[in-house]
Amino acid sequence: MDESKLLDQNVIVFILITTICHAAFQPSASDCSLHFDFPSPNSTCEEGDWGGFLRKNCCASAFNDYLYALGQRANQTGKIYLNSAEQGSCLASMKDLQKNVFGCGIEKLTSGAGGCSDFSVADVTNRLGDRLKSLEGNCKFQSSDDGKNEQLCGSCVKSWEDIGALPSTSSDPQSIEVETNVCRFAVLVSYTSIKLENKAHLLAVYTCLGSQKFFTNNNQLPPKGNRKISTGKASSITELSLAFAELKIYTELVAFAIYYAAFKDDPFEESGCPKISIEEVYSATNNLSQSNFIGEGTAGKVYKGILSNNQHVAIKHIINDGNVETFAREVTSLSHIRHPNLVTLLGYCVNEDECFLVYELCPNGNLSEWLFGKDRNLPWIQRLEIAIDSARGLSFLHTYPEGCIVHRDIKPTNILLGKNFEAKLSDFGLSKIIELGETYVSSEVRGTFGYVDPDYQSNNRVNSSGDVYSFGIVLLQILSGKKVVNMNLNTPMPLSKMAKGLNRSGGINDFADPKLQGEYSAEAFDLTLQLALSCTALKQRRPSMEQIVATLQEAHDLSTEAKASTPEVSTDTSIQY
């Protein structure tokens, strides 16, 4: 594709996105109860990230201001954390003061999640009083520029690390880390509330704890300029590994910076319809609250939310960790493509080091949850309707007028279910476009284990038959309610191999999902099974998605006819339709 054609396509993409863009609204700064007057020095983006709690170093100065303001409020009211709405207003207020902290990670410090998030200063004193005393005893900085501060910092950090989360039933390391940080900062805000008059001391404490990544697990921070590097093979290997890791991170940051710069100059800026603002994203999701979290994919976490126009949405949070290409591909693939069986992209947001994609919300989750969830079940005809919807979405992509679009990651978790259980394909982060006149494009093997076409794995050629194979595996799961590989056997067996064996032996009923309880048309079930097996056969024997839609529709018609001819009330569970 020549550059002029590519430019024309990009311009068309941007124009079409503007027709569905939603105006962005910011939370009101006037509703903030905090007063920001902490004398933090101007940020140099070198202050530290509080052991990884902050997403970027440039947030540290504004974060210090935020902590001090919480301490002032705690001193007056006894309360430690703001709720998400109050916090959103205060973050907007800080932006008005040229201290933009949206996207820094501060949104994790809100009330309402239980545990330390709902603590008062009195609760900290009663439940974590020993930790508060330890912090006070080991962080005895006299001023922010005292020469002894670096020597004292190690013991201060040790006291900080000793503050743990409250006893919890959670075994998820990430959840435990969040809870631990919430408890640590609850102690620190309480400490701040009793040291308000000594701002220089508090600045020294914040500076020490903010830079803790340099001396975690050490008793003392070596003086600057005297931090020795050990010699020997082990250290050389470690240094080399660190060098490669830093190079990888640097490369990703440079790539993101270039991409972000390009986006800042896109036609959106002049179209009169702004991109969804970072404030709108955080407001919609209650600052990416855990209570809004609904799932996670390879590119990032997904949160439900409500935009300021009251539209319910799903927001995918893509942090810059090599997934910028995914973000770009989704915007360019979905922005100008509309079909009832494809999830609708409503807008996007680009911040300094993170991206967001905003979609319509599918309230019934994804197909995987309904196939494998213990307390969920889909009746036979509804399963066929979901299969038909999904096949129609894929057929639309494969016959797209500007070139065949190959999804490359068809699986139950990427089949979302709308209000009436209509199926919509989602997650186009791996999609590829095959230009008119071409039969395939070459690419590294991508996809999900168990769903990837063996032909694609062997020759690296992307074409529509790969999606057909993946869809065939999904059909087998719709029929059986089984995972792609049965790990309960002595020798793990792929689902397709199991289906072929039962088909040859005539044990079709043994393959049916027990949740169906025999309530399906045997003829339609067999027709669908044979279709699924043809999808997973050799490439040259696979049907097109148009043929798949027609066959599934035939199975649906057989099923509805069988159901219509079956008495509504019957105690005979062997009757099949």
From the candidates 49, 65, 409, 513, give the one annotated as an active-site residue: 409
Give me the pLDDT at residue 271, please.
31
Give CA–CA dist 406/398, Å, rounded.
Answer: 7
Residues 6+ apart with CB under 8 A from 534: 472, 541, 542, 543
Domain with CATH 3.30.200.20 in the chain: 268-360
Domain with CATH 1.10.510.10 in the chain: 367-564
- 130 burial via Cβ count (<10 Å: 0-12, 13-18, 19+): exposed
Q: Let me know: does 521 contact 528? Beta carbons within 8 Å.
A: no
Give me the pLDDT at residue 241, please.
44
Residue 345: phi and psi, rounded to 5, are -85, 120
Reported as type and span, the H/E element at residue 207 is helix 199-210
Q: Does residue 210 register a pLDDT over 70?
A: yes
The strand ranges marked E within 367-518 are: 404-406, 415-417, 423-425, 432-434, 441-442, 461-462, 485-486, 493-494
- Which is more confidently placed, 279 or 241? 279
Give CA–CA dist 37/72, Å, rounded.
Answer: 10
What CATH number matches the domain at 367-564, 1.10.10.10, 1.10.510.10, 3.60.15.30, 3.90.850.10? Answer: 1.10.510.10
Q: Let me know: does 392 contact 549? Beta carbons within 8 Å.
A: yes
Closest C-alpha among 478, 460, 461 to residue 410: 478
Q: Let me know: does 104 contact 63? Beta carbons within 8 Å.
A: yes
Q: Give SS3 for 399.
A: coil
Cα dihedral sign, 253-256-262-266? negative
Give me the pLDDT at residue 188, please.
95
Place of tokens 């036609």: 267
Give CA–CA dist 475/551, Å, rounded.
Answer: 12
Q: Give SS3 for 486.
A: strand
For residue 282, the one-letter residue type is Y
Identify the weakest region by mean pLDDT among 310-314, 330-334, 417-421. Answer: 330-334
Distance of CA 44 to the CA centre of its chain: 30
Give me the pLDDT at residue 340, please.
93
Q: Is 557 a known active-site residue?
A: no
Over the stretch 136-174, which tens digit does the pLDDT of each residue have?
Answer: 988 888 654 545 666 678 889 889 988 987 776 556 677
Give CA–CA dist 111/118, Å, rounded.
Answer: 5
Tell whether pTM > 0.85: no
User: If you average pLDDT over each of 38-42, 67-71, 351-355, 564-568, which comes out highest?
Assistant: 67-71
Q: Does residue 333 register a pLDDT over 90?
A: no
Q: Give SS3 for 406.
A: strand
Q: Let me know: does 210 contact 50? Beta carbons within 8 Å.
A: yes
Give me the pLDDT at residue 169, please.
52
Give me the pLDDT at residue 258, please.
42
Fold classification of 268-360 (topology level): Phosphorylase Kinase; domain 1 (3.30.200)
The model's confidence at residue 376, banded by pLDDT at 50, 70 and 90, is very high
Over the stretch 260-307, which tens digit does the pLDDT of each residue have?
Answer: 444 445 433 433 323 788 999 999 999 999 899 998 766 778 999 999
Token digits of residue 432? 């590829």
Distances (CA, A) of 253 to 136, 241, 265, 313, 354: 38, 18, 19, 29, 11
Strand 293-296, strand 312-319: pairing:
unpaired
Place of tokens 């003086």: 223
Residues 6+ apart with CB under 8 A from 63: 50, 54, 101, 104, 106, 210
Give me the pLDDT at residue 168, please.
63
- Which is more confidently placed, 173 or 485? 485
Closest C-alpha among 420, 425, 428 to residue 394: 425
- 3-state helix, strand and coil shares in percent for the chain, rounded to the nearest 5: 50, 10, 40
Give CA–CA dist 346/360, Å, rounded.
Answer: 7
CB atoms < 10 A from the CB of 93, how many? 21
Token digits of residue 16? 């079409």
Looking at the chain, the number of H-run helices and the number of E-run strands are: 20, 13
The mean pLDDT value for 514-541 works out to: 95
Closest C-alpha among 416, 397, 340 to residue 546: 397
- Which is more confidently placed, 119 or 38? 119
Q: Does residue 385 register a pLDDT over 90?
A: yes
Q: Let me know: does 131 contact 162? Beta carbons within 8 Å.
A: yes
Token digits of residue 282? 């955080």
Q: Does residue 256 register a pLDDT over 50?
A: no
CB atoms < 10 A from the CB of 225, how many? 5
Give CA–CA dist 429/451, Å, rounded.
Answer: 16
The model's confidence at residue 486, banded by pLDDT at 50, 70 and 90, is confident
Closest C-alpha among 375, 448, 463, 441 to residue 412: 448
